[in-house]
Amino acid sequence: MKEVFMMSGERFFPDLETNRLRLRNVTDADIEFIFKLFSDEKVCEFLYDEELYTVKEDAIEFVQWNKNPEEKGSNRWILEAKDSHEKMGTCGFDAWDRTNHIAEIGYDLWHEYWGRGYMKEALVAAIESGFHNMDLNRINAYVALGNTRSTNLLERLGFKREGIYRDKHLFRGEYFDHYSYSLLKREWKEQK
């Protein structure tokens, strides 16, 4: 039997807004952007959990997998610029352990937007939503060693590096270690 994650009309993964961005759940209209994003070597340099997309079907599968987040208990928001409606990247939650109130956050951004604070802005909204709408106590993040942009971002947001998750992903015949990060609800509240 399929577990349903939506109860009494509440939404765990609502659309979100920040000063410059709209975060909305992925739809079929995003297939071209998803293909562009995940077929780009620069964007995917440290994404060892999947090969570069080479055919549009890869993007279609991604969108299908992330549709109906309220039923599945995981999501992916598309990051859109409020002024231009330009699609910039994605972020979202996966591996939701509802018993222990833990989920994993993931994110990626088109390289033309790196260094402008967009992902920090998006993650602040996503983290707030996770603690409030999903009732999380802990948010996990895993970052490939060498991905200093991502580790710096997480640390600026208050995530604590807990150690190294050894051999986390097998990619092209080689195992890759990842830093393990976490952010607790009480730590998030304290820094506000």
DSSP category for residue 52: P
- Would you state the pLDDT for residue 49? 86
Mean pLDDT of 82-104: 97
Give 9's strand partners.
none
pLDDT tens by residue, 128-140: 999 999 999 999 9
Mean pLDDT of 118-144: 97
Is it the case that residue 5 has pLDDT exceeding 60? no
Amino acid of residue 97:
D
Is it the case that residue 7 has pLDDT exceeding 50? no
- Would you state the pLDDT for residue 191? 86
Mean pLDDT of 94-123: 97
Cβ(16)–Cβ(129) under 8 Å? yes
